[in-house]
């Protein structure tokens, strides 16, 4: 949002498009935020009815993922009609379906979900419409994440990448969240719940132990859903040595399932959990 706003303020919005790649498991308040922000950037009336519709997005785990996908397809269609410069696309799979297809569970080193649902999808969309000299790719990372720029540039080459929030004036996340208040846009609720990013509804295979404990504390049902999915994938692969999380004890790396992590937390063994291990999303890298 802030990167798009900075570009809009500098160069206007006439030739600016917004591209959103939907993993189908985003927090419902992310969809609200995206629709509200996109309308604001293009100086369109606040689409109150669409914002209200976001409240009824089924929770992940409450309905089969295909039902959620249908609801989101419908919402995306309406949002794009109302905000023509917004392009809301989806591969049709969620991260767990990608893991199933790729026969591996994503983790901090290998995140096939990011590769399939974000990187390939967005790149193919751009490639199908623009030659490298016809498009500039703007990404929203900020100056605290500048180390990610070279990998993003490599991934998009030969397209040119610009990361406006890595440039002056440097803003902290709190500055950006305060700006939202100035614009009259509610801060996405995951930030108020202590999440470091607003991706995949507070789930992320690149997250660490602390990240997942935060999910457990804030949304136990969603945690239990992903916990069950991880065990289901292990059964499908016929392997118990593949997990999202690992823990290194005296130099030896061990697998750590979400069920084991929850068991430790629930039985008061929180001290052996590394709550500072938040991990990082880096979805476009
Ligand atoms: S946020 Fe995490 S889980 Fe979601 S697509 Fe990106 S890497 Fe995968």
pLDDT given at position 276: 73
Residue 54 has pLDDT above 90, yes or no: yes
Number of domains in the chain: 1
Q: What's the gap in Å between 112 CA and the centre of ligand 1?
A: 8
Q: What is the pLDDT of residue 78?
A: 98
Identify the pLDDT of residue 261: 96
**Does the pLDDT of residue 230 top 70, yes or no?**
yes
What integer is the mean pLDDT of 212-230?
A: 97
Q: Which of 20, 26, 118, 195 maximizes ligand 1 atoms within 8 Å of its Cβ, making it the mutation to test the pocket? A: 118
Distance, in Å, from the CA atom of 136 to the CA atom of 119, rounded to the nearest integer, reads 16
Backbone torsions φ then ψ of 249, nearest 5 degrees: -120, 125
Interval 188-209: pLDDT, tens: 999 999 998 899 999 999 999 9
> What is the CA(162)–ligand 1 centre distance, in A?
22
Binned at pLDDT 50, 70 and 90, residue 277 comes out as: confident
pLDDT above 90: percentage of residues in the chain: 89
Higher pLDDT, 108 or 275: 108
* Greatest Cα-to-Cα distance within the chain, rounded to the nearest angstrom: 58
Which of 114, 120, 225 has most ligand 1 atoms within 8 Å of its beta carbon, as the pocket-test mutant?
Answer: 114
**204 found inside a domain:** no
Question: How much of the chain, in percent, has pLDDT values that exceed 70?
Answer: 97
β-sheet bridge partners, residue 164: none
Q: Is residue 284's pLDDT more than 60?
A: no
Query: What's the pLDDT score for residue 50?
Result: 97
What range defines the domain where residue 58 resides?
2-93+110-189
Cα separation, 129 vs 144, in Å, equals: 32
- Let me know if residue 223 belongs to a domain: no
Asked, for residue 253, whether it belongs to a domain, the answer is: no
Mean confidence (pLDDT) of the chain: 94
Please report the pLDDT score of residue 197 as a whole number: 86
* Within a domain: 49: yes
The answer to the question of residue 75 being in a domain is yes
pLDDT band per the 50, 70, 90 thresholds, residue 280: low
Kindly report the protein residue whose alpha carbon is nearest to atom 5 of ligand 1.
Answer: 114
- Residue 227 is assigned to a structural domain of this protein: no
- Inside any domain, residue 8: yes
In a domain, residue 203? The reply is: no
């Amino acid at each position: 949002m802030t990167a798009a706003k900075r570009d809009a303020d500098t160069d206007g919005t006439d030739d600016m498009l917004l591209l959103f790649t939907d993993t189908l498991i985003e927090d419902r308040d992310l969809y609200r935020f995206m629709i509200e922000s996109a309308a604001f950037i293009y100086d369109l009336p606040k689409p109150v009815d669409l914002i209200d519709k976001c409240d009824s997005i089924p929770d992940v785990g409450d309905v089969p993922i295909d039902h959620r996908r249908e609801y989101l397809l419908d919402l995306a269609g309406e949002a794009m009609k109302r905000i023509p410069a917004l392009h809301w696309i989806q591969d049709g799979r969620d991260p767990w379906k990608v893991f199933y297809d790729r026969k591996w569970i994503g983790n901090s080193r290998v995140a096939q979900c990011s590769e399939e649902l974000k990187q390939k999808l967005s790149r193919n969309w751009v490639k199908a419409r623009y030659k490298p000299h016809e498009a500039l790719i703007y990404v929203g990372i900020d100056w605290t994440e500048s180390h990610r720029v070279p990998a993003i540039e490599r991934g998009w080459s030969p397209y040119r990448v610009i990361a406006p929030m890595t440039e002056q004036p440097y803003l902290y996340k709190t500055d950006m969240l305060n700006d939202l208040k100035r614009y009259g846009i509610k801060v996405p609720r995951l930030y108020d719940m202590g999440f470091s990013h607003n991706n995949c509804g507070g789930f992320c295979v690149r997250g660490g132990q602390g990240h997942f404990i935060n999910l457990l504390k804030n949304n136990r049902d969603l945690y239990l859903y992903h916990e069950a999915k991880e065990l289901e994938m292990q059964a499908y692969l016929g392997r118990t040595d593949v997990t999202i999380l690992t823990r290194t004890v005296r130099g030896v790396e061990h697998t750590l399932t979400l069920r084991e992590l929850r068991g430790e937390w629930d039985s008061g063994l929180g001290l052996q959990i590394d709550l500072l291990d938040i991990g990082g999303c880096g979805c476009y890298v």
